[in-house]
Amino acid sequence: MPFRIGLTRDFLTDDGRVGWGDIGLAALDEAGDVTWDFIDTAEGDITPDAVRGYDALIVLTPRVTADTLKGADRLVLVARFGVGYDNVDVEACTRHGVLVTITPGGVRGPVSVAALTLLLAAAHRLGQKDRLVRTGRWNDKLAYMGTGVTGRTLGLIGWGNIGREVSRLCAPLGMRQLAADPYADPAKAAADGVTLTDLDTLLAEADFAVVTCALTPQTHHLLDAERLARMKPAAYLINVARGPIVDQVALTEALVAGRLAGAALDVFEVEPPDPADPLLALDNVLLSPHAIAWTDQLALGNGSAAIRSALDVAAGRVPAHPVNPEALDHPRLLARKVSR
């Protein structure tokens, strides 16, 4: 029986094209004893009926829940297209013998460049200057001086896969670099010219605070009103991680009150945000629809890595970057001879 792979339908545009461009699907066509297609789910929870008969799923935004797995008579892999897996019930997957993988190599470069893009755009007040031209206010430009980054302090909230790459990209800019991450290697940080510190110190000293940590129960509202109040009035907050890491109401209040110079956000507590959300009306905020890093390079990198995970499991190999390696001990995976 062929190994059957399903991709969530949100990879497709309304007219049936792969909206991401090349995501490496040729590798599936070239693989032996493998079939693939798109499941019926493009948003919301993936239903049990949608996954029945599939051995692996490649998932973009729909949710894999405990109920989803009730239909998973053959499922052994959920390969996330990206590094966040808050749309996957990992504990339920582990109980059912379903391995969950992510694609850190595919996102490292594009998301880090996106973080730098937002940082520089905020520092130069690009959004406001763009509106000056579009609204005929050319001569108001003296009221919108930017902030130079050389010699300023960069604070990285999370110094993992993406945080380290942001450090590398920013090194030529001559910024002092701080990072708050309890799991970071002090020796590696020192070698890269990064000072590890606690979060409160980082927020008090950073001119640009960049959120790159994962969303977990411990990091939900990590930046609440109290922590945001520690930031300098001239500082900027950039978030390319997950929206709920920041208390969005508290952030809005700080921006309205002038306790922060500005923010650049690719992610929100609720996505998409309510059009009436007062954050969207602020002049000192740059916004992107959780897509600032969406490039051809990210598409191919993520897609190829997720597909490689599926083909590895199909061949009885342990894939790279499992989130729940303990699932490898489950009888379902052992029966497929996928074991460590």
Q: What is the 3-state secondary structure (H, E, C) of the chain?
A: CCEEEEECHHHECCCCCECCCCCCCHHHHHCCCEEEEECCCCCCECCHHHHCCCCEEEECCCEECCCHHHHCCCCCEEEECCCCCCCECHHHHHHCCCEEECCHHHHHHHHHHHHHHHHHHHHCCHHHHHHHHHCCCHHHHHHCCCCCCCCCEEEEECCCHHHHHHHHHHHHHCCEEEEECCCCCHHHHHHCCEEECCHHHHHHHCCEEEECCCCCCCCCCCECHHHHCCCCCCCEEEECCCHHHECHHHHHHHHHCCCCCEEEECCCCCCCCCCCCHHHHCCCEEECCCCCCCCHHHHHHHHHHHHHHHHHHHCCCCCCCECCHHHHHCHHHHHCCCCC
**302, 79 Cβ separation under 8 angstroms:** no
290 is an active site residue: yes
Work out the average pLDDT over 111-133. 98
Q: Please check whether residue 27 is in contact with residue 309, taking contact to mean a CB–CB distance below 8 angstroms.
A: no
Where on the phi/psi map is residue 288: left (φ > 0), alpha (ψ -120 to 50), or beta? beta
The residue-averaged pLDDT of 275-296 equals: 97
What per-residue confidence (pLDDT) applies to 1? 85
Residue 131 confidence (pLDDT) = 96
Percent of the chain with pLDDT over 70: 99
Q: Where do we find the tokens 């049990």?
A: 48
pLDDT value, residue 20 = 95
**How confident is the model over 168-173, as a mean pLDDT?**
97
> Would the pLDDT of 338 be above 90?
no
Counting residues of the chain whose pLDDT is more than 90, the rounded percentage is 96
pTM greater than the 0.75 cutoff: yes
pLDDT(340) > 70? no
Tokens of 308: 């490689």
Confidence label for 71 from pLDDT (cuts 50, 70 and 90) = confident
- Please tell me the predicted confidence (pLDDT) of residue 173: 97
Written as six digits, the tokens of 140 are 């108001």
Phi, psi (deg, nearest 5) at residue 228 = -60, -30
Instruction: Kindly provide the b/e burial profile for residues 217-255, where b requires at least 16 CB atoms within 10 angstroms of the residue's own CB.
Output: eebeebbeeebbebbbeebbbbbbbbbbbbbbebbbbbb
Catalytic residue flag (residue 271): yes
Local confidence band at 60 (pLDDT 50, 70, 90 cut-offs): very high
- Does 337 have pLDDT greater than 90? no
Question: Using N-to-C axis directions, what is the helix angle for 126-134 and 104-123, rounded to 10°?
Answer: 60
Mean pLDDT, range 137-144, rounded to an integer: 96
Q: Binning pLDDT at 50, 70 and 90, where does residue 73 land?
A: confident
| Domains, the chain, with CATH or none | 3-102+295-335 (3.40.50.720), 107-287 (3.40.50.720)
Query: Pick the catalytic residue: 242, 308, 321, 330?
Result: 242
Q: How far is CA 283 from the centre of its chain?
A: 25
Residue of 168, 271, 317, 326 marked catalytic:
271
Q: Give CA–CA dist 244/222, Å, rounded.
A: 8
Catalytic-role residue among 9, 220, 221, 290 = 290
Q: Among 265, 220, 259, 277, which Cα is nearest to 239's?
A: 265
Residue in 37, 29, 34 with CA at minimum distance from that of residue 9: 37
pLDDT in tens, 197-235: 999 999 999 999 999 999 999 999 999 999 999 999 999
The tens digit of pLDDT for each residue in 1-40 reads 899 999 999 999 999 999 999 999 999 999 989 999 999 9
Question: How far is the C-alpha of 8 from the C-alpha of 43, rounded, in Å?
Answer: 8
